[in-house]
Amino acid sequence: MMSRTRLNLANLITLSRLFLVPVAIWLIIRGRDGFAFWVFVVAGLSDALDGFVAKRFDRRTRLGALLDPLADKSLLVSLTITLGLFGALPSWLVILVVFRDAMILGGFLLIQAIAAATEFSPLYISKINTLVQATLIGFVLARRGLEIDPGLLTSLLIFAAAVTTAASGLSYLVRWARILSRSEGIL
């Protein structure tokens, strides 16, 4: 059962992840990618921990349901942009990631405004995309900060991130078209 907006331990953990975003960005800007990698790891562990606490102790809230994806997207998009600005990720991938997330946010707001309020859970491809993006960012930070030889893996992760980002964006467009067509009585 989801309560309204109570602030609890799971939500505090999520908020701490949100506060780690500027720390990670600052570390990258200062050339401390090794430390940024560990902040990123802590943020990832906090994502798993807040979900566990919320489910295990029945502490799910509407606030948490909003904060969790906000913290995840803030971390991934901010670090993608920062790594792009420092040449660690290609600019076309940064543009694709930012465009997809802006499109999802815009589509969500449009659906909420036009169609009847609907539950908006993430698509499976979107979860895969988040995992691939997180793996890419973690690998790039580790590679730069811990001086790991990138080899072919960086190119493969960039390709996988691009494919899953595009597939996820297209999947959301299809979902919204179906929702809007039902609310407008088109189909």
Q: What is the CATH number of the domain that holds 110?
A: 1.20.120.1760
Contacts 24+ apart (CB under 8 A), 56-62: 57/9, 57/10, 58/1, 59/8, 59/9, 59/10, 59/11, 60/1, 60/2, 60/3, 60/10, 61/2, 61/3, 61/4, 61/5, 61/6, 61/7, 61/8, 61/10, 61/11, 62/2, 62/3, 62/4, 62/5
The domain in which residue 51 lies consists of 9-184
Residue 108 lies inside a defined structural domain of this protein: yes
What is the structure's pLDDT at 158? 95
Backbone angle region of 120, left / alpha / beta, with phi > 0 → left and psi within -120 to 50 → alpha:
beta
pLDDT tens-place string over residues 135-172: 999 999 998 877 777 778 889 999 999 999 999 999 99
The span from the CA of 43 to the CA of 25, in Å, is: 13
Copy the structure tokens of residue 8: 């609890």
Please check whether residue 70 is in contact with residue 15, taking contact to mean a CB–CB distance below 8 angstroms.
no
Reported as type and span, the H/E element at residue 1 is none
pLDDT tens-place string over residues 39-67: 999 999 998 888 888 888 877 887 777 78
Number of domains in the chain: 1
Residue 37 lies inside a defined structural domain of this protein: yes
**pLDDT greater than 60 at residue 1:** no
Residue 28 lies inside a defined structural domain of this protein: yes
pLDDT tens-place string over residues 102-138: 998 888 888 877 766 566 678 899 999 999 999 999 9
pTM for the complete prediction? Answer: 0.85
pLDDT tens-place string over residues 62-87: 777 778 888 889 999 999 999 999 99
Residue 4 lies inside a defined structural domain of this protein: no
The span from the CA of 142 to the CA of 136, in Å, is: 10
What is the structure's pLDDT at 6? 64
- As a whole number, mean pLDDT of residues 179-184 equals 72
Using alpha carbons only, what angle is made at residue 41 by residues 37 and 45, rounded to the nearest 5 degrees?
170
Please report, as a single letter, which amino acid is at residue 33.
D
Copy the structure tokens of residue 23: 């720390």
